[in-house]
Amino acid sequence: MNGSSLDPVISDLPEGAVSCRSIGAVGSSDHYAIFSRINLKATREEALTRTIWTWNKGCWQSFRSVLENTAWDSILTGDVNTQAFKLTETLQNLQERFIPHKSYKVKAGDQPWFGHTCRLAAEEKSRAWIRFKRNPSTENKLTHKAACKRMKQVQKWAIEQWRQSLSTKLINRSIGSKDWWSLVKQQQGLTTQDCIPPLYKPDGNVATSSQDKAELLASFFSQKMRIREPDRTPPQLPSMTNQRLNSLVIRADEVKYHLLKTEVNKAFGPDNVSPHILKKCADQLATPLATLFQNCLQQQKWPAIWKQARVVPVHKKKSQALPENYLQDSP
Residues 12-65 pLDDT 10s: 777 778 888 888 777 777 777 888 888 877 666 677 788 888 898 999 999 999
Tabulate helix, strand, coil % of the chain (nearest 5).
Answer: 45, 10, 40
Neighbour-count burial of 292, counting CB atoms closer than 10 A to its CB (0-12 exposed, 13-18 middle, 19+ buried): buried
Q: How long, in residues, is the chain?
A: 331
Average of pLDDT values for 149-168?
89
pLDDT at residue 2 tops 70:
no
Provide the pLDDT for residue 5: 61
Dump pLDDT digits (tens) for 78-109.
Answer: 999 999 999 999 999 999 999 999 887 777 67
**Higher-scoring residue by pLDDT: 157, 187:** 157
Rounded percentage of the chain residues whose pLDDT exceeds 90: 36
Provide the pLDDT for residue 151: 94
Dump pLDDT digits (tens) for 185-238.
Answer: 766 665 555 578 888 888 888 888 888 888 898 888 888 777 778 788 888 888
**Higher-scoring residue by pLDDT: 230, 305:** 305
Q: What is the pTM of this model?
A: 0.67
Provide the pLDDT for residue 304: 92
The closest of 278, 253, 284, 293 to 69, measured between CA atoms, is: 284
Provide the pLDDT for residue 145: 94
Alpha helices, DSSP H only, in the chain?
60-68, 72-75, 80-98, 116-134, 138-170, 177-188, 210-225, 252-260, 275-280, 282-299
pLDDT at residue 270 tops 90:
no
Provide the pLDDT for residue 42: 62
Task: State how far the Cα of 128 lies from the Cα of 144, in Å rounded to an integer.
Answer: 5
Sorting pLDDT into bands at 50, 70 and 90, what band is 119? confident
Burial pattern 24-36, b for ≥16 Cβ within 10 A else e, equals eeeeeeeebeeee
User: HSE (CB half, 13 Å, CA atoms) of 153?
Assistant: 8
User: HSE (CB half, 13 Å, CA atoms) of 125?
Assistant: 17
Mean pLDDT of the chain: 85
Neighbour-count burial of 148, counting CB atoms closer than 10 A to its CB (0-12 exposed, 13-18 middle, 19+ buried): middle
